[in-house]
Amino acid sequence: MKRILTLALFMLCASTHAAPIDVVRAQFDAYYTTATADREAPRMAGALRDLESVTRQISGPDWLRSDGSWTDIRYDEVPAGGWGPWDHSRRLIVMAKAYRTPGQGLYGDPTLLADINAALAYTKRFYGATIYPAGNWWFWTIGIPIDLGPTLLLMQGYADQSVIDELVFAMQVRIGPSPTSRGIIGPVPTGENLVWSSFTHLCLALLKNDTTMLDAVSDAMTGVARPTSGEGIKPDRSFHQHGAQLYTGGYGGSFANDVARYALITRGTPYAMAPASLDSFADYLADGIAWTLYGNFFDVSVIGREVARPTTSGFNGIAALLQASAIDSSRRGEIRSAAAKMLETWGALPSELAGLAAQVETGEIAPAWPDGHRHYFSSDYTVHRRPDWFASVKMFSTRTKSGEDTNDENILGSRQSDGRFYLVLDGNEYFGRDVWPALDWTRLPGTTVEQKAGTASAIYGYGKRSFAGGTGDGRNGVSAMELAPLDSILTARKSWFFFDDAIVFLTNGITAPGGNRVETIVNQWPLMNDASQLTRRDDWAVLEDVGYWIPSSDDLHVSRETRTGTWASLGGSSDTTPRTRQFVTLWLDHGTSPMNAAAEYLIVPRVTPAQMAAWVESRPISIVINNDTASAARDNRTGALGIAFWRAGSVEGVQSTAPAVVYMTGDARTMRVTAADPNAATTGTFQLTIPGPWTTKDVAFTKALHSTTLTIPRNSGQTTTIELQRASTRRRAVR
């Protein structure tokens, strides 16, 4: 017998008389069937049409056989980087949603129910409890269960209960009794793997009415949403998975989506995450996820090997923001604002998100991305944002990994952490246009690179130098690294100075005695319009609203090239269809076997040629120094000064007793100094001396007549911010 309508059940179980596990079950059901959504809202109406259309396609006789198998799936495959039968369970969840979701033509459809019963019965043939789980562990303990679990919950009381019971047992055998356990095969789950495990155990607990298991799920989710020294959310709100590897938009995006869904499903029950964990998760969304999204995509620097996937997008980001927009938190306004901004360019959404999107779009929060500057000290990664452009730099050190090629994905990406610079104006310059297959992976923007056989490869690992760090005041800042690429004898010192409307790139000490040519790649730009032309003058150029200024005597080389490649060439995909794109590459040539060469240039986004000419004429930014002691640049309009001290030294009266990154703003009466240790020592201090007598409450200091020495904690590379007030010079004081 059919159960009562979803909404009525939701209202019943949400009452104070329902057991907490029944409230969770009802909220789970309401989430997937969009029980409270306005079905007349345009996004929701479109989502329901899409749900019906896709379900009719995948359940049609041309695809779905009468025995419940699909014609295009090879069920004899052994799981490796992929597994055909995973599509079986992914299609089943779509069919179950269509059967249970009111407002579209397949709701309660008896033919669809028969198809679901057949497909569930066939699932036993490749996922039954007696089948040995050969191959990649992930599909057995996470991939299949993460779709099968919700399907079984949605169809409980509708589909053949004996089949459901058998598949519940098969899930239990595969995933084990606890979300933190190893399961039948595979490693002990951490980070996003732990969240996936928690979700499969949430489903299993609801299917078995097991409150003890649900308690364990709640405990696991409460713990995983807090910063960790291992895999997961880092103290700087970036995300690591597979070791010390930046994955905020890859595993970390999926993590954000899944944790937000759990928070919605368990809200108001004893199984919800602890308040401190929810606050921590909201911080991760506001300071990590939202900061690395722009347009419809994550920054390429935070998606790891997923750059090799044609389907990569910012979906997990918008899903997380939308779901978290419905959860009370101290960051809810910022989260809703970012969600509203992303919805301005996002297209169709699945039904469970479309209703949430309609609520955000009709709300009173103004759409806006984050705006400003952040350095992620746990991940050697910097983001610089303005309302109409996005830039980032990805570095690595002895503390972080350069990347990975797991499952043979990302086999050309070895240079992605060598100071790769990512700049987009609209957000879709690289993604969604089949650019990555045609890219020259030996000439990534911002890198200083030794050109030799195997320059672009799958060689990854921890860095060889500890110097990689950054600092800033939230609006602007400075980052720097000692470059020593893996599988290369090249060494160099690279620094970046981020100001209001421009970024300064300073590199020195470029040395590579191996007989190979070395280049600094100013940009490799995929043309948005193949007819676009470079406007060039003596020391500057503009292409598609991006300006380039070479204030030194270095010659800016420019090439225009049509390149062709395939997704298969990047690994992880079988798509061998040629993809062709036109690029303009700008670079500085350091010749063969350079010794202590240098590179200096500026990039000014969002300018026309006329604006760039006026900008260069006004000389708004000065390069102060660029040598083996320090690199520094100043914004002449504001007086802001950024310094990368490569070793103890002095720049214009600012002295450091150790390598440091420093950013200073202010006037004769007040000053703000931000500083960090790029070697990221966990203990100890260094001293920074600045001209003039100052006082502060933020750090210990020694004040002299004409200078003040500040004691800066090293603190694992975190920024120390010091607010200073001009002191009287009538007498000397020591504190």
Q: List the CATH number of the domain containing 720.
A: 2.60.220.10
- Closest Cα partner for 197 from 246, 245, 258? 258
The verdict on 387 and 467 lying in the same domain is yes
The verdict on 409 and 558 lying in the same domain is yes
Residues 552-587 have pLDDT tens digits of 888 999 999 999 999 999 998 999 999 999 999 999
Angle at 371 between CA 370 and CA 372, to 5 degrees: 125
pLDDT of residue 669: 95
Q: Do the domain assignments include residue 601?
A: yes
Give Cβ neighbours of residue 702 (< 8 Å, ≥ 6 apart): 708, 709, 734, 735
pLDDT of residue 18: 86
Q: Do the domain assignments include residue 36?
A: no
Domain termination site, one of 568, 590, 625: 625
Domain termination site, one of 593, 625, 657: 625
- Written as one letter, the residue type at 191 is G
pLDDT of residue 730: 57
Structure tokens at 350: 């699945």
**86 pLDDT exceeds 90?**
yes
Residues 65-76 have pLDDT tens digits of 999 999 999 999
Q: Do the domain assignments include residue 228?
A: no
The verdict on 431 and 531 lying in the same domain is yes
Is residue 519 within 8 Å of residue 587, measured between CB atoms? yes
pLDDT of residue 735: 43
Following DSSP, what letter does each residue of 561-591 receive, concatenated?
Answer: EEEEE-GGGGSS------EEEEEEEEEEEEE
* 418-453 per-residue burial string, b: 16 or more CB within 10 A, e: under 16: bbbbbbbbebbbbbeebbbbbbbbbbbbbbbbbebe
Q: Mean pLDDT throughout 646-667?
A: 97
The verdict on 616 and 492 lying in the same domain is yes
Q: Mean pLDDT throughout 160-177?
A: 96
Residue with tokens 């690429």: 485
pLDDT of residue 8: 39
pLDDT of residue 728: 76
CATH number assigned to the domain comprising residue 533: 2.70.98.10
Instruction: Give the number of domains in the chain.
Output: 2
Q: Do the domain assignments include residue 677?
A: yes
- Written as one letter, the residue type at 269 is T
Q: Do the domain assignments include residue 604?
A: yes
pLDDT of residue 2: 32
Residues 341-378 have pLDDT tens digits of 999 999 999 999 999 999 999 888 999 999 999 999 99
Domain termination site, one of 625, 658, 691: 625
Q: Do the domain assignments include residue 700?
A: yes
Cα Dmax for the chain? 94
CB-CB neighbours of 276 under 10 Å: 11
Q: Do the domain assignments include residue 293?
A: no
The verdict on 671 and 573 lying in the same domain is no
The verdict on 442 and 567 lying in the same domain is yes
**SS3 of residue 643 by DSSP:** strand
In terms of Cβ atoms closer than 10 Å to its own Cβ (0-12, 13-18, 19+), residue 164 is buried
The verdict on 621 and 666 lying in the same domain is no
pLDDT of residue 186: 75
pLDDT band at 386 (very low <50, low <70, confident <90, very high): very high
Q: What is the mean pLDDT of the chain?
A: 95
The verdict on 611 and 555 lying in the same domain is yes
**247 pLDDT exceeds 50?**
yes
pLDDT band at 10 (very low <50, low <70, confident <90, very high): very low
Sheet holding 381-386, edge to edge: 372-376, 381-386, 389-394, 420-424
- Closest Cα partner for 642 from 386, 373, 299, 387? 373
**11 pLDDT exceeds 80?**
no
Q: Do the domain assignments include residue 597?
A: yes
The verdict on 669 and 574 lying in the same domain is no
The verdict on 664 and 553 lying in the same domain is no
The verdict on 433 and 555 lying in the same domain is yes
**413 pLDDT exceeds 80?**
yes
Question: In terms of residue numbers, what domain contains 670?
Answer: 647-726
The verdict on 608 and 651 lying in the same domain is no
The CA distance from 226 to 283, in Å, is 10
Give Cβ neighbours of residue 369 (< 8 Å, ≥ 6 apart): 290, 293, 294, 338, 341, 385, 387
pLDDT of residue 185: 74
Q: What percent of the chain has pLDDT over 70?
A: 96
pLDDT of residue 4: 31
